[in-house]
Structures are given as structure tokens and as C-alpha cells.
Amino acid sequence: MSCALGAFVNGIENLASFQSKINKKLAVVLWYIHWGDAFPLKEAEIAAQNGSVPLLTWEPWLANGLDPILNGEHDVYIKQFIRAAKDFGRPILLRFAHEMNGNWYPWDGAHNNAEKYKKAWLYIYNVRQELKAEHVLLVWCPNNRSLPDKPWNKIKNYYPGDQYVDWAGMDGYNWGYGCNESFDQVFKDVYKQLVELCDKPIMIGEFAAAGNDQAKTAWLQEALEQLKTKYSKVKLICWFNINKERDWRIAPGFSQIFSDFYFSDKMV
């Protein structure tokens, strides 16, 4: 199995210290771009100098959902951003409007609908094509569970089609405490859906586990064993390293676990 390691390190300035803690270089560095912000050239250069591919999660925080994009109100910004990504001249993974099957973002199906989401996705795709930004790879990434769990909110309803997607992704967490779940419990169902839905390499765009250091370490050990045997299409995993809803940060035992697992150095 060939799988690469990435992470959200909560700021590019934390990249070196994170890598020293896991004794491994990241193939991919994940961070988040608020809609309206310019392409992060400085941060992308630092990632590239580290030998890492930037994974940019592009979040359209718009008061009126996806309508302003579809109405052409953000054409100038969208083209400027993708043109800057093209001019960067190296591979970029661009994860636009992730977790669309949830109910917590202004771009999700609960605040729009699946057809509107697909139209917005195709809008971004068409700009990418128009600008001939071939090394800007589009990542379509649902949440591991659809909320609400209704027929209209099924993951497949949001998929624009293989020709418009470069990578498929899935996000999921073991929230710990009263809802402790194994890696397989978190990802089994969504992985099956993605394999049936598309013929694309799959990434875990975000994952982590809550709990004490011992529990986190045991969970990661089991997760990597599951990856070896049951998740052959997963080519990238990205740890979400921040103290946020839970303390998702890595535990001291992670270094040895990561060292023992074969990770590919290159992503694209």
C-alpha cells in the first residue's frame, strides 16, 4: 500500500516543530482559506521548500449561501485566486466547500441544495479549465456522515462526476468520551460509498481522535493497521492537529507509530 502523510499544523510556522515531534516530513500540509483572502503564496512556498504539497481548503463563507458564486458576483476573486495558484507553478490540492453533506456551513446542502452545490463546483471547475491551471487539483470531500440523515442529503447527490473531480476525500473524527469510535467505525461506511461512487484516489482530508495520550496512541495504531488491510484506495491521510472542539493534538507515542508505517514521500 502506498499512502502519504499530511497534517493541519495550525499555522505554517508550526510545521518544523510538528515534523520534529513525529520525526517525519509531511508530504502534504493542510490549511484553510477564508473566502476573499488571496492565494497564500508565502505559505505555499514554505510548504514547497519543505517538499510538501499544499492542500488548501477553500471555504466560501457567504451570507447568501452559494448564490453569489452562481450569480457571477465573485468572478474576479475566483479567477484571481486560481490564476495565482496556476502561477505558483507547482501542484496544489484545492479542497473547495468541503463537508457539503453537513448542516454547519453556509455552502452545505442544508443551507442550499445538492443541485446548487454541484453547479457551484462546476463553476470552479470551469474557471480552472478556462485558465488552464492543470496542476490545481480539485478535491471533493464530504463528511463521513450526512447530517441530517435524509434521502436528499446522501453523499452521492453532491457528486458532480468523475470528469470534474481529481481526488475524492472524506473527513471524520473519533470524538471520544461518550461517543468513542474505532477508525473503522468512523470511515467504513463513507469509504464504501466513495469506492462505489467514483474512480478516484481517496484522501482522508481531516481525521483525529480525542482522549488521553494513551487512548489516542492506541487509536492511531489501530487506524494504520486498518488502512493497510481495508482501505487500499486511500492515498493520503491528514491529521487535524489543534485543540479545538476536543484536544486533537498528537500524542508523544505517535512518532514511533508513524515511523513504523510505510508512508509515500510524494503525493502528486
Question: For 55-65, what is the mean pLDDT?
Answer: 97
Cell 502519504, residue located:
4
Indicate whether 62 pLDDT > 90: yes
Is the bond into 148 cis (omega within 30 degrees of 0)?
Answer: yes
Cα distances from 229 to residues 82, 149, 184, 222, 226, in angstroms, run 37, 29, 11, 11, 5
Among candidate residues 227, 230, 209, the one with its CA nearest the CA of residue 218: 209
CA-atom Rg of the chain in angstroms? 18
At residue 261, the pLDDT reads: 87
Q: What is the CATH number of domain 4-260?
A: 3.20.20.80
pLDDT tens-digit series, residues 197-253 = 999 999 999 999 999 999 999 999 999 999 999 999 999 999 999 999 999 999 999
Query: What pLDDT digit, counting tens, does each position of 169-194 carry?
Result: 999 999 987 668 999 999 999 999 99
pLDDT of residue 267: 66
pTM for the structure as a whole: 0.96
State the cell numbers at 224: 494504520
User: Model confidence over 69-121: pLDDT tens digits?
Assistant: 999 999 999 999 999 999 999 999 999 999 999 999 999 999 999 999 999 99
Which of 239-266 are b and which e, b meaning 16 or more Cβ less than 10 Å from the residue's Cβ? Answer: bbbbeeebebbbbeebeebbeebebeee
If we measure between CA atoms, which residue out of 178, 186, 191, 185 comes closest to residue 246? Answer: 178
Kindly give the interhelix angle for 213-230 and 183-197, rounded to the nearest 10 degrees: 30
Closest listed residue to residue 99, CA positions, set 81, 125, 117, 82: 117
Residues 55-59, mean pLDDT to the nearest whole number:
98
